[in-house]
Amino acid sequence: MNYVVEKRKIIIEPIPDPFEFALTGPKFAETTFEEFEKESEEMQNEFFETRNENTS
């Protein structure tokens, strides 16, 4: 809940559920499985390279 005070009144506003909003809200981006997989592999490579450098 979001609480706002205006002119001696307390206004309580519900905060929408982010998961519900993600499913029903407007879509503003698009990605393919291939793009997602490529990004995932790059992030994993960065993570493991950094991790291996810290253990050496």
Instruction: Report pLDDT for 40.
Output: 96
Model pTM greater than 0.95? no
- Would you say residue 7 has pLDDT above 90? yes
Residue with tokens 């309580």: 12
Q: What is the pLDDT of residues 8-46, one digit of tens each?
A: 999 999 888 889 888 888 888 899 999 999 999 999 999
Categorize the per-residue pLDDT at 56 as very low, low, confident or very high, splitting at 50, 70 and 90: low
CB of 15 closer than 8 Å to CB of 2:
yes
Residue 38 and residue 32 in contact, taking contact as beta carbons nearer than 8 Å: no
Whole-number pLDDT of residue 34 = 96
What SS3 class is residue 7? coil
